[in-house]
Amino acid sequence: MFPPVQAALARVMPLERLRWISFSHFEADECGALNDFLAAAPNALPLCGRLLAMLSVNDTADREAHTLGDGEELRIGKCRVQWLDTPHLPHAWESGLLMEHTTGTLLCSDLFTEGGTDHPPLIEGDILGPSDAFRRGLDFYSHTKDTRAMLTRLAALKPTTLARMHGSAWRGHGAGLLLALADTLEMNT
């Protein structure tokens, strides 16, 4: 899928200006084209959590990752991102999320995954219901005992946009939605 993603990104900015390539956990749909991006963007580096770099990224990537510890921040131009370790939420041990504080955007990985491809870029409606139905059909969450604590920590950041990996970005009261997800996951385990 690198060629269509490369073409879409080129409509926003020249690919060679790309500086950071980040993902929440290590799977082909998150990072399968990592080395293609690194080849096309000579100044770019993978950006991820320390555990993710140690377990997978630095063994796979053509360039060593810039790592962030849990809670550590990085200034990217006018933006400020913060890495948050979320082990086993929603997937593997090395999982983590990025919060972009300037815009209030939580890059929330698969937390509210929705199937299909026909989604508008940004919505304000219900994403918990469709996401919960999709999750129940596949049961791809790890069911960690620390789920509520991690979702409460994310809610405390008060995101106003949730940038989902699979589905439209969502705008609204992110803290409330994250806590509603914690309730839903507790009821369904």
pLDDT digits (tens, 9 = 90+) for 127-147: 999 999 988 888 777 778 899
Encode pLDDT of 4-35 as tens digits.
989 999 999 999 999 999 989 998 877 889 99
**Residue 16 has what pLDDT?**
93
CA separation, residue 174 to residues 34, 73, 109, 177 (Å) = 29, 20, 14, 5
pLDDT, tens digit, 9 for 90 and up, residues 151-178: 999 999 999 999 998 889 999 999 999 9
For the stretch 31-80, pLDDT in tens is: 889 999 999 999 999 999 999 999 999 999 999 999 999 999 999 999 99
Q: Quick one: DSSP state of residue 61? A: S
Mean local confidence (pLDDT), 90-97? 91
- Whether 189 shows a pLDDT value over 70: the answer reads no
Check pLDDT > 70 for residue 92.
Answer: yes
**What 3-state class would DSSP assign to 105?**
strand
pTM greater than 0.85 (yes/no) = yes
Task: Indicate whether 89 pLDDT > 80.
Answer: yes
136 burial via Cβ count (<10 Å: 0-12, 13-18, 19+): exposed
> What is the C-alpha R_g of the chain?
16
Nearest to 98 by CA among 73, 64, 122, 123: 73
